[in-house]
A and B are shown apart, each in its own frame.
Chain A
Amino acid sequence: MTDSQISLRADSLPKASLSLERRYSLLGLLLIAPTVLVLSAVIVYPLCFAIYLSLFSIYTPTLQGSWVGLDNYAQVFGSGTFWFSLFVTLIWTAGTLFLQIVFGVAMAVILNQNIFLRSLARSLVLFPYFISTVVAVLAWRWIFNDLYGILSFILIKIGIIDMPLDFLGSMPNAMVSVIAVGAWKFFPFVVIAVLARLQTIPEQLYEAATMDGAGPIGRFFDITLPQLRDVLTIVILLRAIWDFKEFDLIFLLTGGGPLNNTRTLPLIVYQEAFGLNRMGMAAAYAVAMMLIMLAFMLIYLHRARERPA
């Protein structure tokens, strides 16, 4: 290409991207192409397909179905099942989220101190998060066991109760147990995130507060907590979303019982699809669940952004 051709192009189109820039852009697109491919094929497509499915009534084993339009949704929103399950889900989410955050922050603060064998302590605290939910459930169901479980035994020995408790088979025990196990399993996520942030708070802030007369509680609420605001905003959002859609833990612990009292929305979806063999209905429940999550997310983000920085 001659110089005059280049100058013509460059000068007359000041805003057009020149070919070196365009070459780089194309390379960038090439590199992200596999990601886009995979995600489109196995997330975007199924998502759209799920919404499509929800407009049919489908018999799972044969995958035969017929169009029902919005009938599934009418049933979902019209019946008490959905709303009760939503209620259960909200109780579970709020309960376990609260415990995760409170214990997460508390544990992070404690682990931030100079403790004997600190890294070992940290490892032990983080471990529950990284084991499989299956392992966690097996461990806890063994502990909760009414005949051989150690928990009832300890509680009786201390004197809190005098008969073994049915931890998973009656209410409100089942919900409490599920919330507690959920907190135990997932709170280390909060610990890691908060601990990382705690370690960046300059010591001088605490020293200044001490000189101004603040005690440990005062320092926590006036220095530590405000510094944690940003991390906690994100952590709360993430954990709330993940807790809300949690399936494995509750399914394996109680299966949704007793009498559907711990049957959260994800469990309903599974049961509709593979228990009642109504795949279209399951899809409708799933879509409804996502809409609710989306609504909460938007409200939360809106509130979080509104607060002065």
Chain B
Amino acid sequence: MVAVTFDKVRKVFGSVVAIPALDLAIGSGEFVSLLGPSGCGKTTTLRMLAGLEQPSGGRILIGDRVVNDQPPAARDIAMVFQSYALYPHMTVAENIAYPLRKRGVPKAERPAKVKAVAELLQLGPLLDRKPRQLSGGQQQRVALGRALVREPKVFLLDEPLSNLDAKLRAHMRAELIELHRRLGKTMVYVTHDQLEAMTMSTRIAVMQGGELQQFDTPAEIYHRPANRFVASFIGTPAMTLIDGAVAVDNQRHVLHLGELAIALPLQALDLKQASEKVTVGVRPEDVLIGTGEDKALIRIVEPTGHESIVTLNAGGVTFTARVPGDRRLTAGETVPFELRRDNIHVFDQVSGRRLNSHG
């Protein structure tokens, strides 16, 4: 069953087209992240779903109802804001009870529901406090509680963890994953942090410039990025991207990068409608040091403890590689190196489109 549909949704601000045409279908019970850099349109998309912005064109459906003309109150959604947006003049209990008040839940039933949510989120002792007396993490849980108490169809979360410190963020990530598992609700989550998106989502919608780049599971997005943008956006340290050219030679595709030549089987690439110019991408874990026919010069070694990030030059091209932390390497060394052929990503240099034929 489809919980949320964006059907050719368009958003224009004055003369700026923020979102040209968005098509997205989110299934019931999914945890979908809208992931992208600032300004990519992910927050605007979420706000249109909430009813806080109006689309300039297209339809938005929740379930099978078109909600374009419905105010937020009528859409059966709940939202957690980046700033938490807790009502400063109300206590925690009143904050959480507010949606119940607005929905006409009888006064007698409210305390029980508030209590249930408070227990779920360990907010019990804080019920009589005002928001300004709470820490960031506590405020965040109150915001979560206020969203949960109504048991809506869809949960919207707008970068809820970005104001927390790293440790708390990791903790809350785990809590949100657990929450989703327990409640099974549809959640739409906006973030610019790929780690959050990768760990929490059933599927990720990568956005850039108001356009959907790829909508897939985290694994697919990582291993088979649909275009150069997704490939470079996901993965830390970032994938090494090199511009080069491809030529067909003797039943093989040969990638020419700087002075390097890398041969791939003919079926590896789908070159229909592609130019000869390509961009080749290699993830750091697919750059192998110590084996291979080519030689590379190590420029920088950055040890992080459990691994080291190594920058090396080969044939005029600079690669980033990651090696286990116990490998001893020094800058200035020349080492053999090779690339894992199966995991080389090839993109059309002009359009950015993925050219690898399976996937």
The short answer to whether A and B are in direct contact, CB under 8 Å, is yes
State whether the Cβ of A21 lies closer than 8 Å to any Cβ in chain B. yes
State whether the Cβ of A238 lies closer than 8 Å to any Cβ in chain B. no
* Complexed CA–CA distance, A21 and B71 (Å): 9
| A10: chain B residues within 8 A (beta carbon) | 55, 57-59, 68
Whether the pair A15, B56 counts as a contact (CB closer than 8 A) is yes
Interface size class of chain A, counting residues whose CB lies under 8 Å from the partner chain = 10 to 19
Contact mask A8-34 → B, CB, 8 Å, 1/0? 001100110111110000000000000
Whether the pair A7, B59 counts as a contact (CB closer than 8 A) is yes
State whether the Cβ of B70 lies closer than 8 Å to any Cβ in chain A. yes
Whether the pair B51, A14 counts as a contact (CB closer than 8 A) is no
B15 → chain A closest CB, angstroms: 11
Docked complex: B1-29 residues within 8 A CB-CB of A = 7-8, 10, 12
State whether the Cβ of A6 lies closer than 8 Å to any Cβ in chain B. yes
Whether the pair A14, B10 counts as a contact (CB closer than 8 A) is yes
State whether the Cβ of A3 lies closer than 8 Å to any Cβ in chain B. yes
Whether the pair A3, B57 counts as a contact (CB closer than 8 A) is no
A interface, by DSSP: helix, strand, loop or mixed?
A: helix
**Which has the most chain B C-beta neighbours within 10 Å: A6, A10, A18?**
A10
Docked complex: A192-226 residues within 8 A CB-CB of B = none
Point out the residue from A6, A11, A19 that lies within 8 Å of B8, measured CB to CB.
A11
B54 → chain A closest CB, angstroms: 5
Whether the pair A14, B54 counts as a contact (CB closer than 8 A) is no
| A18: chain B residues within 8 A (beta carbon) | 54-55, 68-69
Point out the residue from B8, B10, B51 that lies within 8 Å of A20, measured CB to CB.
B51
| B59: chain A residues within 8 A (beta carbon) | 3, 6-7, 10
Whether the pair B69, A11 counts as a contact (CB closer than 8 A) is no
State whether the Cβ of B248 lies closer than 8 Å to any Cβ in chain A. no
Whether the pair B51, A11 counts as a contact (CB closer than 8 A) is no
| A6: chain B residues within 8 A (beta carbon) | 59, 66, 68-69
| B12: chain A residues within 8 A (beta carbon) | 14-15
Interface size class of chain B, counting residues whose CB lies under 8 Å from the partner chain = 10 to 19
Q: How many A-B residue pairs have CB under 8 A?
A: 36
Contacts known (A11-B8, A20-B51); A3 close to B66, Cβ less than 8 A: yes
Residue of B nearest to A6 (CB): B66
* Complexed CA–CA distance, A20 and B66 (Å): 13
| B69: chain A residues within 8 A (beta carbon) | 6, 18-20
* Complexed CA–CA distance, A11 and B56 (Å): 9
Residue of A nearest to B53 (CB): A21
**Which has the most chain B C-beta neighbours within 10 Å: A6, A15, A20?**
A20
| A21: chain B residues within 8 A (beta carbon) | 54
A253 → chain B closest CB, angstroms: 47
Residue of A nearest to B64 (CB): A3
A24 → chain B closest CB, angstroms: 9
Whether the pair B70, A11 counts as a contact (CB closer than 8 A) is no
Residue of A nearest to B70 (CB): A20
* Complexed CA–CA distance, A18 and B51 (Å): 12
| A7: chain B residues within 8 A (beta carbon) | 7, 59, 66
| B56: chain A residues within 8 A (beta carbon) | 14-15
Residue of A nearest to B51 (CB): A20
| B10: chain A residues within 8 A (beta carbon) | 14
| B54: chain A residues within 8 A (beta carbon) | 17-18, 20-21
| B70: chain A residues within 8 A (beta carbon) | 20
A264 → chain B closest CB, angstroms: 46
Whether the pair B58, A11 counts as a contact (CB closer than 8 A) is yes
* Complexed CA–CA distance, A19 and B55 (Å): 11
B64 → chain A closest CB, angstroms: 8
B292 → chain A closest CB, angstroms: 55
* Complexed CA–CA distance, A12 and B341 (Å): 49
* Complexed CA–CA distance, A216 and B55 (Å): 57
| A20: chain B residues within 8 A (beta carbon) | 51, 54, 68-71
| A19: chain B residues within 8 A (beta carbon) | 69
Docked complex: A240-258 residues within 8 A CB-CB of B = none
Docked complex: A125-149 residues within 8 A CB-CB of B = none
B22 → chain A closest CB, angstroms: 14
A73 → chain B closest CB, angstroms: 44
* Complexed CA–CA distance, A3 and B64 (Å): 10
B95 → chain A closest CB, angstroms: 25
* Complexed CA–CA distance, A19 and B71 (Å): 10
Complex A-B: 26 CB contacts under 8 Å: A3-B59, A3-B66, A6-B59, A6-B66, A6-B68, A7-B59, A10-B55, A10-B59, A10-B68, A11-B8, A11-B57, A14-B10, A14-B12, A14-B56, A14-B57, A15-B56, A17-B54, A18-B54, A18-B68, A18-B69, A19-B69, A20-B51, A20-B68, A20-B69, A20-B70, A21-B54
Closest 5 CB pairs of A and B: A14-B57, A21-B54, A20-B69, A19-B69, A6-B66
Contacts A3-B59, A10-B57, A14-B12 aside, 6 further interface pairs with beta carbons under 8 A come to A6-B69, A10-B55, A10-B58, A10-B68, A17-B54, A20-B51
